[in-house]
């Protein structure tokens, strides 16, 4: 997981842009949650069984808890949001809201009114 560069998919202000989640660290800091869905392979690397739906839920819960100090839960059986990607959405929305389009919408003098 650590060897794959995903930064080209991340917004530059995203917390995970240059530092993707460290699964070993998350498992160590959350042994009763994410740690329970992780296994060490014979070579010592950490493996996560992504076919187990509790793995995504546990990872999301651990990221919210350890990276954002939020307590979060959701019932099994629902789609679980991947936190790094959802952070991208927030940054993209922030870009749109702070860009020229938003400034034009907030300033009535910049918005042409048809028929006047």
84-112: pLDDT as tens digits? 999 999 999 998 888 776 666 666 666 56
Check: pTM over 0.95? Answer yes or no: no
- C-alpha atoms less than 13 angstroms from C-alpha of 33 in its C-beta half-sphere: 19
The predicted pLDDT at position 111 comes to 58
The predicted pLDDT at position 12 comes to 93
42-92: pLDDT as tens digits? 998 899 988 888 999 999 999 999 999 999 999 888 888 889 999 999 999
pLDDT range class, residue 14, cuts 50, 70, 90? very high
Domain boundaries defined on the chain:
7-110
pLDDT range class, residue 35, cuts 50, 70, 90? very high
Separation between Cα atoms, residue 52 and residue 63, nearest integer Å: 18
Single out the residue of 112, 90, 111, 106 nearest to residue 10, CA to CA. 90
Distances (CA, A) of 52 to 8, 14, 34, 91: 28, 27, 12, 30
């Amino acid at each position: 997981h650590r060897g794959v560069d995903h930064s080209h998919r991340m917004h530059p202000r995203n917390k995970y842009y240059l530092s993707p989640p460290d699964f070993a660290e998350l498992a160590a800091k959350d042994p009763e949650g994410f740690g329970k869905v992780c296994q060490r392979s014979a070579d010592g690397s950490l493996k996560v069984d992504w076919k187990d739906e509790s793995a995504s839920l546990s990872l999301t819960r651990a990221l919210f808890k350890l990276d954002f100090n939020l307590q979060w839960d959701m019932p099994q059986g629902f789609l679980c949001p991947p936190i790094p990607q959802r952070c991208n959405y927030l940054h993209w929305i922030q870009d749109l809201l702070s860009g020229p389009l938003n400034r034009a919408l907030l300033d009535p003098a910049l918005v042409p009114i048809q028929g006047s």
